[in-house]
Amino acid sequence: MKIAVNDTPTDLPNHATVADLLEHLGKTGTPCAVERNGELVPWRDHDAVALQPDDSIEIVTLVGGG
């Protein structure tokens, strides 16, 4: 299926979850915020939220520093 991740077209297997997407992108274990179609997906729900074709995903990684 095709989705948009940070405005970039991305192909994923059907029935992929947010957790699957993060693994696909190499971001497993990386602190980040994920929005699906403009709504925040809590980290505890990443395994349960199934993505749908044409979803728009925004991922923001957290960066430390000062």
CA dist 3 and 60 (Å) reads 16
| pLDDT of res. 63 | 76
Q: For the whole model, what pTM was predicted?
A: 0.90
pLDDT by position in tens, the chain (length 66)? 999 999 999 999 999 999 999 999 999 988 899 999 999 999 999 999 999 999 999 999 877 776
CATH class for the domain made up of 2-61: alpha beta
